[in-house]
Amino acid sequence: MLTINFSPFPILETERLILRRVENTDVNEIFALRSNPDTMKYIPRPLVKTTEDALEHIAMMEGKIENNEAINWAITIKGNPKLIGVIGHYRMKPEDYRAEIGYMLLPEFNGKGIISEAVKEVVQYGFKIMKLHSIEAIIAPENYASAKVLEKNGFIKEAHLKENQFYEGRFLDTVIYSILNKH
């Protein structure tokens, strides 16, 4: 079975970005991300209502890193430590050498290729360092921007599940994309 260790925390770097640990000082940006109905539109989770909720969310992410259960990075632009989004590996299945990738970005940074650049790096980390065999992404079928990012990064659409998720009184479809480690 795969052994995963996120200590020391891995800081990742791309051409334009630094992916670093999420800190309590990021609370306002995490609040902005997770309290905004637009950024949360395709994420079937309750909106955070207060900065306390946002701090709890950060603590939850931190706990999963410490237990090597999941990892989240703050997406930042080089030269500016301000969090503009988050990306990570979640719902890890070490027995299957598999993890799920997820990401969010503050709306004012959309359309600049930032998520695509971050996804590429986090996938590389998943395959090279974590030794994953496959990475999946689960998105809403109408989330075309996310589908485009995934396809650009070599993910293949594997399934469209009909009304497989019940959230806030209704059934939602989900689409599964995945990529295999070919190396």
Each residue's pLDDT tens digit in the chain (183 positions)?
Answer: 889 999 999 999 999 999 999 999 999 999 999 999 999 999 989 999 999 999 999 999 999 999 999 999 999 999 999 999 999 999 999 999 999 999 999 999 999 999 999 999 999 999 999 999 999 999 999 999 999 999 999 999 999 999 999 999 999 999 999 999 986
Query: Do the beta carbons of residue 99 and residue 180 sit within 8 Å?
Result: no
149 within some domain: yes
Give the number of domains in the chain.
Answer: 1
What is the reported pLDDT for 1? 81
6 within some domain: no
3 within some domain: no
What is the reported pLDDT for 182? 87
The pTM (predicted TM-score) of the whole model is: 0.95
CATH for 66: 3.40.630.30
84 within some domain: yes
Query: Do the beta carbons of residue 141 and residue 104 sit within 8 Å?
Result: no
Please give the torsion angle defined by the CA atoms of residues 123, 86, 95 and 143, in that order, rounded to the nearest 10 degrees. Answer: -80
**Does residue 58 come out as left (phi exceeding 0), alpha (psi in the -120 to 50 range) or beta?**
alpha
56 within some domain: yes
Tell me the C-alpha distance between 79 and 119, whole Å.
20
Supply the range of the domain harboring residue 33.
Answer: 12-180
50 within some domain: yes
60 within some domain: yes
89 within some domain: yes
What Rg value do the Cα atoms of the chain yield, rounded? 16
